[in-house]
């Protein structure tokens, strides 16, 4: 049952996910979370390194859609300057927003990866909808109020995986 929360891969940062690697896996599009995945939850806009990451994806014809549970104001302010399409109030772990993102990008599920920093929304949602999921270490140690309880539960699940040797994670 807990396997629903196990990501296919885990990396330290989105910046570690390279276009060459994705292309080699046949990936044409990225569905990514925003808060604490791309930037700190309270940072309004992208860092230079992240802007560079988006450019690299674009140069390699890998599409990116931001799918966030946060509100329109937050997501739009971040995504518009980058000209990255986005879906706000996505209600992850529910599936419809992922499907919408796929439709917008015009790709199949098998050609996409779901990236995020939370087991209870990003990983669970991606897994349940049948995506390849990649967990990243949260950019910040702090969270918005809505995420605090999820983190409490998440920590227990991560510890269980760790004990079973299913997930190596350095704190
Ligand atoms: Mg997040």
Model confidence over 88-134: pLDDT tens digits? Answer: 999 999 999 999 999 999 999 999 999 999 999 999 999 999 999 99
Res 4: pLDDT: 94
Q: Are 102 and 132 in contact (CB under 8 A)?
A: no
Rounded to the nearest whole angstrom, what is the distance from the C-alpha of residue 69 to the centroid of ligand 1?
8
Confidence of residue 82 (pLDDT cuts 50, 70, 90): very high
> Contact, 112 vs 31, CB < 8 A?
yes
pLDDT of residue 170: 59
Distance between Cα 8 and ligand 1 center (Å) = 17
- pLDDT tens, residue by residue, 12-69: 999 999 999 999 999 999 999 999 999 999 999 999 999 999 999 999 999 999 999 9
Distance from the CA of 84 to the center of ligand 1, in angstroms? Answer: 17
111 CA distance to ligand 1 middle (Å): 22
Residue with tokens 């996409």: 112
Cα(78) to centroid(ligand 1), Å: 14
Using pLDDT thresholds of 50, 70 and 90, give the confidence band for residue 169. low
pLDDT at 147 (0 to 100): 85
Distance 169 CA to ligand 1 centre (A): 18
Q: Which residues contact 158 (CB under 8 A, 6 or more apart)?
A: 119, 167, 169
Is the model more confident about 143 or about 10?
A: 10
Whole-prediction pTM: 0.94
Answer whether residue 137 shows pLDDT above 80.
yes
């Amino acid at each position: 049952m807990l396997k629903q929360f196990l990501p296919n891969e885990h990396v330290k940062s989105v910046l570690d996910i390279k276009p060459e690697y994705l292309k080699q896996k046949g990936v044409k599009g990225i569905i990514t979370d925003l808060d604490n995945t791309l930037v700190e939850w309270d940072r309004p806009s992208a860092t230079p390194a992240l802007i560079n990451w988006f450019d690299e994806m674009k140069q390699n014809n890998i599409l990116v859609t931001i799918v966030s549970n946060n509100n329109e104001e937050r997501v739009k302010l971040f995504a518009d300057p980058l000209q990255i399409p986005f879906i706000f109030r996505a209600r992850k772990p529910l599936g419809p927003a992922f499907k919408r993102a796929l439709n917008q990008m015009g790709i199949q599920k098998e050609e996409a990866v779901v990236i995020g920093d939370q087991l209870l929304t990003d990983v669970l949602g991606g897994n349940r909808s049948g995506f390849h999921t990649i967990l990243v270490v949260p950019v910040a140690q702090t969270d918005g109020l809505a995420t605090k309880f999820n983190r409490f539960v998440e920590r227990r699940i991560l510890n269980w995986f760790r004990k079973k040797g299913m997930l190596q994670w350095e704190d």
